[in-house]
Amino acid sequence: MKVVIVFTLVALALMGQDAKPMPLIHATALASVGGRVYAGTSSGEVHVYDARTREPVSVLTSERKGIVSSVAASSRGVAWIIGPRPTSIRDKFAAQADVTAQALIFQTPDQRTYTIDLKPAGVDRTVRALSWFGPRLWMLGDFGAAFYNASSSAIELGSTFLPSSVAEEVARSRVWVHEPYLMTVMPVSIRRNPRSLGSPYVSLFTVHKLDGQRWTKVGGFASNAFDVEPEMELSVGEDGRIPSSAKFSVLSETAHFDPTGIAAVESTDLLNAPIFKENWETTRQPLPGWFGESSCPDNLWVQVFGDDLWSWNGTALLKQSRTKHESRAFLPWNDPQMLLNAFLADSAGVWVATNVGVRRIDLGTPQKPLGYGGFIAVPLGPLTEKTDVKSLDKIVRELYRWRFALAELAGKDGARLVSEIYKSVGLVIPANAQGIINSLHAIPVQDELRVGDVIFSAKSLAIYIGNGKTVEVKDGVVQNSTVWNRPFAIVRRFVKATSDTSPKQAGNPQRTQAPSK
């Protein structure tokens, strides 16, 4: 089956449906405050939307053009960085943007606009993120920060308003701010246990709080949940301590925090540190098993909101509870043209900046035509592998009988396997990919994967068996695989058609019924 067939069928499936998408822009950065969503673009503009209605409110512009890599908004105004930073979520191979080509654009509430070229203004490191803290805009780099005072319209040094000890710590740390809290992280030692997984560097996480005019240390802990690499050869002592002069680059964002505490990805574990609560204690729980698979990409970026940690690895968005063993993934399969550039979580879901506009994943009922904003949901956990539908249970049992069958029997792309499996539960469908996808029994799935669904991709046809797992022809034999690392795919659910089903009606679930029990 050729990729072009998949794309055409997706487009046909999406036609004639009843959702009004947000405007088509190339969104590259996101911020949200006061019921507004701010989306930076590849052309230097910032589009503003009503977060409730999703209607456009205004467009912020400046004379400077380029890629908006970061945006931040508050009652003080809206600020964004324009520069040549890559327009995708940063990965391990993204080149460092040159600070000499970055400019800060600041627009006041009364619509006065200031443009500041960062290097001439005294900023000596690439800005990777923006965050407001009182009247100051913190311009955060891999390590260290620069500061713009909106009250005086000037770039400041940290030593002018921070205690000397805190200013020194900020200058050599990875920094996050969430008013009134400041979190710093820095590598302090190398682990000596060769069996340890993940990053070899142990980093110190420290949180300070601004109470009135006074900074106080809230607490801290050590963890290997900080993905960095040294910029030059490291010279460490016998105790593994890293000298304070060592320089590092951040490879990916694996930690984040909000007023409920810190969460971070430690190899295949989720670390939760409710550091702002009395008698807090760090806890760890395993992430979904597919995090440990060698074929699964590393996390590139994580965010925390309340009980949820959201992460993106270039393939899927994962929503993981920080306190319970609950997780759910979202795969960008409903729009093959969509590329993710940034995301922003809140209490009800997540905003996603893409090359085809700002999308929204609402955790409630999915909407047509794009399901969860262009994504298909994947419930995770052992319970998702179970079904009380007898026909689906029989499909899973039949798949075990096909285990390790050769491609000559199952079909090179798995089409004959799918046809024979469904024949066992009374559905007669063709034994070729195009015939299967156009079958009267095939219902488009755009919301959530379920046991028995058939996944069509450029690689093969696969039958879904729950918890992110599939059975398909792989390396010439029928064996287990996963839904991950399939950049383009569509899903069909197969049901028995009623007597009055027509080709037009076959795509309407109300005109069909599940295979009989």
- The span from the CA of 38 to the CA of 312, in Å, is 20
Least confident of 66-80, 361-375, 404-418, 495-509: 495-509
Full DSSP string of 297-348: PPP-EEEEETTEEEEE-SS-EEEEESSSS-EEEEE--S-TT--EEEEEEETT
- Output the pLDDT for position 497: 63
Q: What does the pLDDT look like over 450-494, one tens digit per residue?
A: 999 999 998 789 999 999 999 999 999 999 999 988 878 999 999
The identity of residue 496, as a single letter, is K
Task: Give the pLDDT band (50/70/90) at residue 23.
Answer: confident
Contacts of 2 (CB under 8 A, 6+ apart): 458
- Output the pLDDT for position 507: 37
| Residues in the chain, total | 517
Is it the case that residue 511 has pLDDT exceeding 70? Answer: no
- The span from the CA of 475 to the CA of 12, in Å, is 32
Full DSSP string of 135-191: TEEEEE-SS-EEEEETTTTEEE-GGGTS-HHHHHHHHTSEEEEETTEEEEEEEEEE-
- Output the pLDDT for position 463: 97
Residue 395: is it exposed, middle or buried by C-beta count within 10 angstroms (0-12/13-18/19+)?
Answer: buried
Q: Look up residue 357 and give its two tokens.
A: 């506009």
Find where tokens 């795919």 sit: 489
H/E element, 14: helix 3-14
Sign of CA dihedral 405, 409, 410, 413: positive
Q: How far is Cα of residue 460 from the mean position of the Cα atoms in its chain?
A: 25
Look up residue 241 and give its DSSP letter: B
| Long-range contacts of 218-224, Cβ-Cβ distance < 8 Å, separation of 24 or more | 218/181, 218/275, 218/276, 219/275, 219/280, 220/275, 221/273, 221/275, 221/282, 222/188, 223/264, 223/266, 223/271, 223/282, 224/191, 224/196, 224/198, 224/199, 224/200, 224/266, 224/267
Task: Give the pLDDT band (50/70/90) at residue 238.
Answer: confident
- The span from the CA of 55 to the CA of 87, in Å, is 24
Q: What does the pLDDT look like over 109-118, one tens digit per residue?
A: 999 999 999 9
Evaluate whether 300 touches 314 at the Cβ level (below 8 Å). Answer: yes
Mean pLDDT of all residues in 76-80: 96
Q: What does the pLDDT look like over 93-111, one tens digit per residue?
A: 455 667 888 999 999 999 9
Mean pLDDT computed over every residue of the chain? 86
In three-state secondary structure terms, 119 is coil
In three-state secondary structure terms, 64 is coil
Q: What is the CA radius of gyration of the chain?
A: 25
Task: Give the pLDDT band (50/70/90) at residue 3.
Answer: very low
- The strand pairing partners of 117, in sequence order, are 103
The reply to whether omega before 369 is within 30° of 0 (cis) is yes
- Output the pLDDT for position 491: 95
Per-domain residue ranges for the chain?
Answer: 162-303, 384-513
Look up residue 512 and give its DSSP letter: E
User: CATH class for domain 384-513?
Assistant: alpha beta
Least confident of 64-73, 77-86, 173-182, 190-199: 190-199
Q: How far is Cα of residue 75 from the mean position of the Cα atoms in its chain?
A: 28
- Output the pLDDT for position 94: 53
- The span from the CA of 204 to the CA of 246, in Å, is 15
The identity of residue 482, as a single letter, is T
Is it the case that residue 430 has pLDDT exceeding 50? Answer: yes
- CA angle 507/509/511 to nearest 5° reads 90
- The span from the CA of 508 to the CA of 500, in Å, is 12
Q: What does the pLDDT look like over 299-338, one tens digit per residue?
A: 789 999 999 999 998 889 999 999 888 899 999 999 988 9
Is it the case that residue 13 has pLDDT exceeding 90? Answer: no
